[in-house]
A = this chain, B = another copy of it.
Amino acid sequence: MNSIPMRELHPGAVPEMLALLGVCVDPGQKLPDMPLAERRIRAGQSLFFEGAPATSIYVVRAGTFKAFHTAEDGYEQVFGFARRGDLLGCDALSGDCHLMGTVALEDASVYVVALPDFYALAQSLPAFHRGVMRAVSGAMVDLTQLADMMAAVASEVRLARFLVHLSRRMSIGGQPSTFLHLLMTRRDIGSYLGVAHETISRSFAALAALRLVKVNQREVEILDLAGLQGFAQGTRTPVKASFGTAVAGLRPGRVLALAA
């Protein structure tokens, strides 16, 4: 139950972690050769539980995680998906325990940085500090974009924003970005976007009917990224519905059954 699944020490892993955090450092610079604990998580396993005391922060090395919160009545609210280079556990720095749990959606690996080490490392290594601030700021941007997705009125627009978001995150990793392997269930996406999971299914069908994507279970291919981005622009009632300046024509307010 409380046995740590797997843990090994990586001497000299600091450079890799800095690379994960997206900071460049002079090749000749002396780096503290602090050994870092690595922890491997199997798909479906939990990295840390909601309510657990904050002991460390984590840098995702491989795999994908889902961060969520479980209400008293059992409803599970998903707050985000973390991938390589993301920071996990920062929500506990302002309190004393984690406000959300984390499970791996696929086999994963993280660097575990104990809180004292974390502060010491940031103190002795400015590059690490900048990397952490970068990552934390990125997490805030992600949460902001989550609010932006949930702010969209139409569920198809929410899903379109989600797919564009995923595609963008993939592309900065250098990958194709038009083929998406969704590791989360429809229910997870629905919780993330604030709609029922059946609505996610229907929205996928709607986007597919518009020839914007091709969907087969969890395999999603973006057929028209520009069109999808235009579609994702749809917002709540603008100040003055300014058609005429529309980018390409695909800018639906509510009309989209015409393509069925």
Contacts and interface: CB of A to CB of B under 8 A. Distances in A.
A138 B73 contact: no
A194 B151 contact: yes
Contact of A69 (B136, B146, B148): B148
A238 B74 CA distance: 6
Contact of A143 (B100, B130, B133, B147): B147
A140 B237 contact: no
Interface string A130-153: 100111111111011011101100
**Chain copies in the assembled complex:** 2
A55 interface: no
A140 B139 CA distance: 8
Interface size grouping (class) on chain A = 35 or more
A137 B90 contact: yes
23 contacts: A73-B241, A74-B238, A74-B239, A75-B235, A75-B236, A75-B237, A75-B239, A77-B151, A79-B144, A90-B133, A90-B136, A91-B140, A93-B136, A99-B144, A100-B144, A119-B130, A136-B136, A143-B143, A147-B147, A147-B150, A147-B194, A150-B151, A196-B237
